[in-house]
Structures are given as C-alpha cells and as structure tokens.
Structure 1
C-alpha cells in the first residue's frame, strides 16, 4: 500500500485545510437553534454559491481522496449504501440484499429505473467494475480485498459478493468514500491519476455542467434522477429532491475573503477556519451550525529503530508530559469546537465511540514523565526531532508548545517545518530520522480497518500482531455488542502502546446565509436545500 496515499486518505475533512482528505468524510448533525433544516415549504430554482478552499483537482474519488473532491462527488455519485446522519449505512443503489447463513455470500439486488447522468441505465456490470477498482486501488477497498473471494454480476440487476471469511463491517465499508459507482465504460484504462472530467458521470441528483480549473465548478440538476422514496434519513442517505437549479463551488483560498464574501452575499455557504468561529457566531447576519464528526488531533511517536520513542516508556512519558489543555488552546475555536477526549471516533458514532483509556488520556505528571524518559534512555540534554507542517497552522503551534514542555524537563528539540507533502515524504524516506510528528485524522470513520490510528504500522512502525488480531476479531464479530467490546479493547490497546497520542477532537462547523433553507448541516450536501426568495 502506498504510505503517502494512506495518510492522505486518513486525514480528516478540515474546514479550511487543503484538499487532503480522509478515508471517510461522513456525518450529519443535530442542527443548531438557528438552523434552516425546518424552514417551511421548499422553493424550486436558483443557484447556490459555495466557497471552497481549493480546486478539486480531480473528481475521481478513488484517485483523489480530497475534501473538495469528496464533497462535490457526493452530489454527483452514489454507492450501493450511503451513511445517514448517525453514521449508519442505508441502502442507496441497492433495493434489497441478502446475506447467507454462513455470512459469506451477499446478494445485492439493484433498484430499477436508475440511470447515469448520460442517460445510460445502471447495471450490475457497472457496480462490479467500480468495486473491483475500489478493492484494488482505494485504501479501504484494499483492506476489504483480502477477504473477498469473488465479485460478479449474476444478471443485469444482481451483484454477488462472496467472502473467504465473514466480515462484520462490510456494509459500512461499502458506504465509505471510494466505493462510488461509475459507468464501467469510463473505467477502462484509467491512469493512477484518475479519470478525466468527461468521465465524471454518476447516478446522483446533480451532474457536472462546467469546470473552470482553479476558479469554480458548476453542477446542474439532473432531471433524469430517480430518487428513493421519502426516507428521511439525512446525511447522504434517503430521498434527494434537487430543488436547486445549480450549485456553484467557488475556489476561495484566503480566509478573510471567505468571511467577507459571506457577509456581502458573494457566496451563501462556507466552512471557514476555527479562528473565524467566534466572530461568525456573534454575527447576526450569518448562521453558524456545528457538524457531526470531528478531527482527531494527534502527536505520532516513531516506533522505528533510531527514534527515541521506540521504547514504550518514552511514549508513556510523552503522554504524561503533554499539557493537553495548552495544546488544545492552540487548535482554535475554543470550547465550542474542542472536545478533550481520547476517543478514536466522534461521539456521534454511537456504535464505535468508546471511553476506554480515558484515565490514561487525562494523566499529566511532568515529574513522572522525566523519570520514565530517563528509564527509556532519553535524558536531559538529549534532542528530540519533531517534524511538522506549516500547511496547517495548528501543527506547527503544537510543535512549538511541545518544545517548551520538553525544555522544562531539560530535553532539547529540533523542529523541522515543511509543506505537508514534503513532511510526509521526509518521514517515509527516513524511518529512523524523526521522533514525533503532528497530524489529524477523520474521527467519523465506520470500521477499525479505516482508522489510521490503528493502521499506522507502515508509517511509524507501530504495527503489531496484537493490534492485527484485535482488528481481525472485530471483522469476525457476530453482533453489535461483540463489536463494541472489541472496539473498547482496541482503544485500550492504543492507550497502552501509544501508536498515536490524542490531543483532542475538534468539531467542524459551517457558516451560511439565512436564505439557505433545508440544509441538513451535512458538510456540502445540498440536494434537499433551497434558497428563500
């Protein structure tokens, strides 16, 4: 597996960050008191203008797991299953499905009458071609592929997937980004960089109208779209009405311009940076709503030989030393956006959220940390090497604060700051040449195999037979209760071995004009939104 791609795929949907994303940017939210979700009778028509921080670069969600790509792609494409606002998988292109008694064979019956945006009917062959590519080339798909025995179209509307062994989270993984269904004809000979914009054709309620690279992407309603019935599931699932004529995504990289444009009406919706949260929340002309899901903010210690953190006692010491409230203060957004928990997933994900290890997360004892560092061979006067990135301001701020905290117990630091791709490249090219790095991950994922904190072995040397066995046991679970117990065990193991040390979780938010109605506070999903005249 490509390490850089894996890390990019594990990054969270950060509101003002670059296009690097996540393995699964999903979620909804309970709307704030000023939300537009219950805004009366919808009005059809109009152009919604949305500010985005970067050009999508590609609309191929396998080749480019970027934030903007994912959010626009959600409007264009659909999957066999989609996540609702509680992170539960719901059928989308699937009408019905059966699981065999031995839990090895899944038979998916597709909805009839569904067409791609070029008018061609959806067939089982399209689903098979799309999932074969996902299994081969996408991070989550590669995790699933090891358990897949066969995948075939048994007729035009039926897909059969046979496993080598039961896989409890399979349906959730089929609802994750990258498993979108494209036309089979558009996937022939696609390079690793992804397909051209002409192949950006899906079954969703909006289709690509135009794309001015670096400037804007315009989607228009697909009049041939066939919605599911009136299931009010929220998130990316259920009925899709497509009230808006068009949705225009304007590339606006400058945060001051993002805020000014909201206030002057140049665009209706944006996801600004955390430092803009409080002033926007206090602005009566703008609606601010928190989104479900979160970033998992982490320090990553290096387990590899040559690192000062190859000894678990040094990792224990780092956790004890870290002044997490001070680090969180540098994250931005204040208490409304920062949650001091050590969980691997957002509390919105009821099935996977765990409090296991919270007692370890909350520990803070610099004197004990100094003792443990000495036992691990890290003494006063030694130098810890921190790699960080100026592409995300909080990364470099965490590094500076950690430098100060280490200096108080006599340990020196050397901070190397790079743009984000260079930082990742430096880490992977010299596995023993660094000690700590700074990252955040998507905390809205739906299976352990998707969670970077559990799968960082190729990145920081933290892989272990014990971790692999716990993930394997989770995949073999037979009930939600068993799965929850195993998730508790996985999180406990993380707080024993410290493949990552969680600083906090950061909630996400959107800011938008009061004229945007019917918005479900689900990132940039707008098919049930409308504009008040």
Structure 2
C-alpha cells in the first residue's frame, strides 16, 4: 500500500496543472454564494430516474424530486409529501392526503392527479411497483390533495413500495411529464424537491448544477436517511465529473472540491494523511456486486452455461482486485444483503464453493460452442472496471471466448437497455452493484424479477415459477412464512441464475472538514449539508 501511495503522490503536481480548466472554477463568483462542489461516482447522462435504475440518475432524482413516503435510517417508511393517511379495516382502501404548500419548480401547485400519474408511470417500470400495480384495482385523485388507492386483495408492502429508497424511486412529477411513455425519457426535469436542476448549466460529461429551491417547505422532523426535513443549506450544488482518479484526489486535497463520493480504497491512506479531509463510511449495509448475463441471446440463453459462470465466481478474487483492503469488503454468498433479516445461502452451493472444474463441466454440459462473450466494461468506475477484467479472465480460464468493450458508465447504462442480438449492438455481460436497501427482500430486489422482456430488468430472465413465488412473498404477512418463501426464491434464482453476486464492499466517502451535516444512509443526499 505504501508503494502505491508514493507513486500516486509523485504525479499530483503534474495533474494539478490543468485542474482549474478541467472543472471550470470561478473563485470570485463562489464568494457571492455558498457552493458545494461534489465529485460524483459517474457522469450524469440520463436524467429520468424512472426510465433508468442507474444510481447516478437516482441521486439526481433525489436532488430535484420528492416522494410520497420515504425510508428512515431503519428502512421504515415515513410520510414525506403525504400529511395524513389511513387504511380501511379490510386493508383494501388506502387514502393519502398531501401536505399543504407543495409546489412544482415551475410555480404550479402539486396536485393529487400529478401524484397518481407519477405512481402509474413508476409502476410500469419498477419491479416492486409492478407487483403493487398487479393488485391495484383503482388509483385516483378524489380532490386536489387526496389520493385513493383501492386494492383487489390485501398486500403486505404498500408503504414499503411507494417509499422505497432506491432504484427505481417513485419520484413525483407534474402530470404533463408523468404521462410520458415510461419507456421514453421525460423531456423536462421539473420536480418539487429542495433543489432545482439548472438545465442551461448542464454540460454532459463535465458539470451538473442544482440551485436551492426557495419555495420548498421541508418537514419539521429531523432528517433520517431519506425521511424527515430536507433543508437546502447551500445556494448551489455542483457535480463535477472528474474520471481521472489522480485529478480528483488533487482537487479534494487542494480544496477545489468539497466532497468525493467514491474515492478508490487505495487512495484512502493519502486522504487520511491530510487533517483537512474526513474519510468515513456512511452506508451501514454496503454494496453488493452483480454480474448480469443477458438471457436473450447465446451463450447465456442456456441455464447450464449461466450456472458455469456462477461456479467460477470467486468473490475473494474479485474483491482483492476491485477493493484490495479487507477492511472495506466481505465475502457474501447471499443474494439478499448480508446483515439483513433475509440473508441466506439456500441453494447457493455454487456461490459458496466456487470451483473451476465444476464450471468447466457445466460449460460442457451446456454445449458451449465457442460463441464470443461481449462484456461491457465501465472504465470510469474502478470497482466495475476491475470486476470486468476479473470476469474476462475467469471466463477465458474455463474455456470461453471473451471480448471486452470499453466505455464510460453513462454509455453503458444506455447500451444495457438494448435487446438486439450482439451482432446488432447487443451485449452478453455487464457488472453493476446494488445498495443493501435495494436487495433486502425478493420484491424490492429488482435483479430477481423474471418477467422477461416486458417486465424484467436488463438481462431479461423469464421464469414464471420464480414470479409466482415473488407474488406469494408480497402477499404474505406472517414473518416465518415470508422467510421460508424468501429461501425458496433464493434457491430458485440461483438455479435459473438471475445473476451472480461477486462480493460486498463498503464505499468510504471523503470530504473537506468545513463540510458538515452529511446523512448516514445507503444513498448520498446533499440536503442538510452545510459548508463553512
């Protein structure tokens, strides 16, 4: 680690030469207002958080949109835009009344009709939303502030669904935008949250600007994860995309930026040497890596070949390559978040006991014929870049032909939506990650959806039996029965191989010591953050 640190330090001066031009600083302008400058984990290319599950777009969504309910630090749903709510005795009718004073960024009032349209659009794309909408008999606005949801049968995850903390988050937007085809991006970003998106200052690949929403009326409760009062304590938040890690490091050390969302672990010792820098882990559950295969096209339209990949995944190898420091990673062979109530190894023999000979045997049983595997490689996110390299070598070691296609994460999040054959711009494998709050149960876990090309997430697995089990879980209210179903779902998911889990890690964040108010949460929020 020391030798890495010294080599890194040796190039900092050279990296500083072009830094000012790279991030477009204007010190005089900054003196007139409070500006929080953030290095995000990726470039913001797609701005519709219903259209994509990409975390950078989710984070953007939290800046500008608000939600009916929100998860607190215990992952319990709390009212956010909603003032009061009630449930009928038979649990079929849910009535929600909006808070007073809610307005969109264009100055128009937030109405129940807006929220109904927003829920319907979200419910068409999000896996958890789809399950909820399957039992929604009607969803309507009975007046300007009242939303009435009537179910066809009791459902155990209503508030957990409309208050889910991560992708896809059921963000509220004006009806005129919420009526956009859910498979197309909205043409305009208008929310009701604590910050406003500055469209004219957005420079894709470089800079995103958010302005304080002076009309926002926060809740009175103290902030708790995504719930509670959202106070915009700074005038502007600027996301400055700096893909070069050395340049990003230099920017934070020199005070050119205030916050770095995802510093590589091998740079942490350098950051910790500076008394003006704070390094800490804000997410208690961490992240789980996902190796996602495309079920539509060869070779991974074959279950045995997908199982071969799972058998070859050695999490220790992945985590050593991607993270390095054992302080920041765990080997976790549960598809649910380790440390969560449903953590299990049911049916996980291939994950628990990785074996290259087993993988080769399964590959042979699947009749692998040398079809090349196209891996989409996100070169600007170190963890995913490393995981792509490990997967490429692992697949070659078991006898597969592999081609890495390098691109930035923003491009990958568009490319992965392509269902066409590989020869026509499709793909076979990409890597991503999920926060623990996203994968705590079989319904919120988008990766376990097996609804095929119409309903499943990118990769499009299709397994009616698994969907039946997930439906049963969503309607079950007994905890013991839920746990049994969760185990059965887990085993089935690994049999059909919805994906492979390549390890769990905990991302530290780094920020200047004059920044305060950061919220401990699986998601990075920038309300309640002050800068002296």
* TM bucket normalised to smaller: 0.7 to 0.9
3-state secondary structure, aligned to 2:506: strand
Q: How does 1:245-256 map to 2 (within 5 A)?
A: 245-256=235-246
Is 1:390 the equivalent of 2:338?
A: no
Is 1:213 the equivalent of 2:212?
A: no
CA RMSD of aligned residues (A): 3.5
Residue in 1 aligned with 2:136? Answer: 148
Q: How does 1:159-174 map to 2 (within 5 A)?
A: 159-174=147-162
Deviation, structure 1 residue 363: 0.4
Residue in 2 aligned with 1:22? Answer: none
Residue in 1 aligned with 2:9? Answer: none
Describe the superposition over 1:124-143 as per-residue Cα deviations: whole angstroms up to 9, x where unpaired: 22222322332345565444
Deviation, structure 1 residue 353: 3.8
Question: Does the 8 Å contact 2:282/2:519 carry over to 1?
Answer: no
Q: How does 1:282-361 map to 2 (within 5 A)?
A: 282-284=272-274, 285-292=276-283, 293-300=285-292, 306-307=298-299, 310-312=302-304, 314-347=305-338, 350-357=340-347, 360-361=350-351
Residue in 1 aligned with 2:448? Answer: 454
Alpha-carbon distance between aligned partners in 2 of 1:212 and 1:434, rounded to the nearest angstrom = 33
Residue in 2 aligned with 1:467? Answer: 466
Alpha-carbon distance between aligned partners in 1 of 2:300 and 2:47, rounded to the nearest angstrom = 41
Deviation, structure 1 residue 192: 6.1
Deviation, structure 1 residue 172: 1.7
Residue in 2 aligned with 1:525? Answer: 525
Is 1:484 the equivalent of 2:476?
A: no
Aligned match of 2:251 in 239, 254, 261? 261
Alpha-carbon distance between aligned partners in 2 of 1:260 and 1:471, rounded to the nearest angstrom = 47
3-state secondary structure, aligned to 2:67: coil
TM-score when normalising by structure 1: 0.78
Deviation, structure 1 residue 517: 1.0
3-state secondary structure, aligned to 2:70: strand
Is 1:512 the equivalent of 2:511?
A: yes
Alpha-carbon distance between aligned partners in 1 of 2:56 and 2:359, rounded to the nearest angstrom = 41
Question: Does the 8 Å contact 1:510/1:521 carry over to 2?
Answer: no
Greater relative contact order (Cα < 8 A, sep 6+): 1
Alpha-carbon distance between aligned partners in 2 of 1:337 and 1:104, rounded to the nearest angstrom = 44
Deviation, structure 1 residue 440: 2.0
Counterparts in 2 of 1:480 and 1:428: CA distance versus 1, 3 Å? farther
3-state secondary structure, aligned to 1:144: helix
Deviation, structure 1 residue 97: 1.8
Alpha-carbon distance between aligned partners in 2 of 1:500 and 1:86, rounded to the nearest angstrom = 27
Alpha-carbon distance between aligned partners in 2 of 1:189 and 1:316, rounded to the nearest angstrom = 39
TM-score when normalising by structure 2: 0.78
Counterparts in 2 of 1:211 and 1:280: CA distance versus 1, 3 Å? farther
3-state secondary structure, aligned to 2:116: helix
Residue in 1 aligned with 2:434? Answer: 442
3-state secondary structure, aligned to 1:383: coil
Counterparts in 2 of 1:101 and 1:237: CA distance versus 1, 3 Å? same
Alpha-carbon distance between aligned partners in 2 of 1:280 and 1:471, rounded to the nearest angstrom = 46
Question: Does the 8 Å contact 1:59/1:200 carry over to 2?
Answer: no
3-state secondary structure, aligned to 1:344: coil
Counterparts in 2 of 1:208 and 1:488: CA distance versus 1, 3 Å? same
Is 1:363 the equivalent of 2:362?
A: no
Residue in 2 aligned with 1:230? Answer: 221
Which ranges in structure 2 are unaligned for 5 or more consecutive residues? Answer: 1-32
3-state secondary structure, aligned to 2:226: coil
Residue in 2 aligned with 1:15? Answer: none
How many pairs are equivalent?
Answer: 479
Counterparts in 2 of 1:396 and 1:235: CA distance versus 1, 3 Å? closer
Residue in 2 aligned with 1:180? Answer: 171
Deviation, structure 1 residue 494: 2.3
Counterparts in 2 of 1:356 and 1:88: CA distance versus 1, 3 Å? farther
Question: Does the 8 Å contact 1:287/1:514 carry over to 2?
Answer: yes
Aligned match of 1:131 in 119, 126, 130? 119
Alpha-carbon distance between aligned partners in 2 of 1:491 and 1:251, rounded to the nearest angstrom = 37
Residue in 1 aligned with 2:77? Answer: 89
Alpha-carbon distance between aligned partners in 1 of 2:227 and 2:479, rounded to the nearest angstrom = 21
Describe the superposition over 1:171-227 as per-residue Cα deviations: whole angstroms up to 9, x where unpaired: 222123442222335556689654455x5231x233345641215343333333322
Question: Does the 8 Å contact 2:127/2:446 carry over to 1?
Answer: no
3-state secondary structure, aligned to 2:171: coil
Alpha-carbon distance between aligned partners in 1 of 2:68 and 2:209, rounded to the nearest angstrom = 25
Residue in 1 aligned with 2:68? Answer: 80
Deviation, structure 1 residue 516: 0.8
Name which of structure 1's ranges 95-104 and 356-365 shifts more when overlaid on structure 2: 356-365
Counterparts in 2 of 1:200 and 1:467: CA distance versus 1, 3 Å? same
Alpha-carbon distance between aligned partners in 2 of 1:51 and 1:435, rounded to the nearest angstrom = 29
Which ranges in structure 1 are unaligned for 5 or more consecutive residues? Answer: 1-44
Deviation, structure 1 residue 291: 3.4
Question: Does the 8 Å contact 1:302/1:461 carry over to 2?
Answer: yes
